[in-house]
Amino acid sequence: MNTQASNTESLQRNQSGMVSIMVTMILMIVMSLIVVGFAQVSRRNQRVALDRQLSTQAFYAAESGVNDAREFLKGVADPSLVPAKTGCTDNVGGYYASLPNRTLSSGVTYSCLLINPTPTVLQYNNIGEQGTVVPLISATGAAINTITLEYQAKNASNTPTANCPTTIKNQFKPSANWNCEYGVLRFDLVDVSGNKDANGYQAATMTSFVVPIKSGSTTASFSPGNNTLIGTACTDTSCKLTINSGLGGTQYYMRVSSLYKESTMNISAAGPGGNVKLANAQVIIDATGKAQDVLRRIQVHMPLSGLTSNNQLPDNAIQTTDSICKRFSIMDGWVDNTPDGVGGTNSLCTP
């Protein structure tokens, strides 16, 4: 009996040792998992930081490609002769042979440059009081049946229509009293299709002011000589006006400006077959930058050949923020702006 008791006590002591071993093993496993987790987090953070750096390098490489293409296109004498570059290599018979394909540093380059000289949408980021000239020329000769202007307010709040007018009447007021965050567009649209003399171009020109209102129509007709106000319904996203009748030509020019507030604008045209490709206006440069295994791609709209979008004519003969007296008398060696009598008072010139 004593021998059995001694064996039982020895077995119990051995079992208590096994518990200690199992606890130790569990702790080691837990600690190993924690170390592995920290190592993975560290590697992930390191990779994120590297990817961020490579992404920045790839973006700068893409910008370098855009700048090289821009410099190349500045030397183009005739914008209508610029072909589309649809492949990463020169696929238009050597036209873009002198366009560089640079490796900026080890593993950093712009791997692909695409050039589209006939986009379907023209983008303008700074439409202000100074007029911007927009060529709307069908690249394929297809008729232009509609022209769509969509513009947004720059630096607008979440509800830019909150203080917009509800009617187009009596909306020309001092700038300090204009509370709508959308501006009033002025555009001069002229049909230059075919051969016309000065009187013909004047008869084919429509001048209108587009007033942003909270509700109403978003369409208008091309009506040369009918220079009236147009109200277009705006949302908190954009204002949109489509000229959907009275067109049908293949070439138009538009001079557009934004009063009271600056705007960004997209302009597109459509014909019987859908969207119309527009020539001699803008070119889209599509550049892909590469830094090791990270790619960045950017697209830029720019005026083609630097000749378009520049207003060649003054928007007005004189501009002032005060009243203008246009009644005066001129004779040889004498001028008087008080034609009611020398030294008298002209009621039209009285502040």
Residue 264 belongs to a domain with what CATH number?
Answer: 2.60.120
Q: Please report whether residue 183 resides in a domain.
A: yes
pLDDT attached to residue 98? 79
Residues in the chain, pLDDT under 50 = 307, 339, 341-343
Strands (E), the chain: 103-105, 108-116, 121-127, 132-138, 146-153, 184-191, 205-213, 219-221, 229-233, 239-245, 251-259, 263-271, 274-275, 278-279, 282-291, 294-303, 329-331, 334-336
Q: Please report whether residue 238 resides in a domain.
A: yes
Which residues form the domain of 181?
120-280
pLDDT attached to residue 77? 75
Q: What is the largest CA-CA distance in the chain?
A: 150
Q: Please report whether residue 317 resides in a domain.
A: no
Query: Rounded to whole angstroms, what are the CA distances from 49 to 44, 52, 62, 142, 146?
Result: 9, 5, 20, 51, 49
Q: Is residue 100 classed as helix, strand or coil in its secondary structure?
A: coil
- As a whole number, the mean pLDDT across the chain is 82
pLDDT attached to residue 268? 96
- Total domain count, the chain: 1
pTM of the model: 0.75
Nearest-angstrom CA–CA distance, 178 and 164: 9
pLDDT attached to residue 314? 66
Q: Please report whether residue 319 resides in a domain.
A: no
Nearest-angstrom CA–CA distance, 346 and 91: 72
Measured in residues, the chain has a length of: 351
Q: Please report whether residue 71 resides in a domain.
A: no
Q: Please report whether residue 20 resides in a domain.
A: no
pLDDT attached to residue 271? 93
Q: Please report whether residue 202 resides in a domain.
A: yes
pLDDT attached to residue 342? 47
Q: Please report whether residue 209 resides in a domain.
A: yes
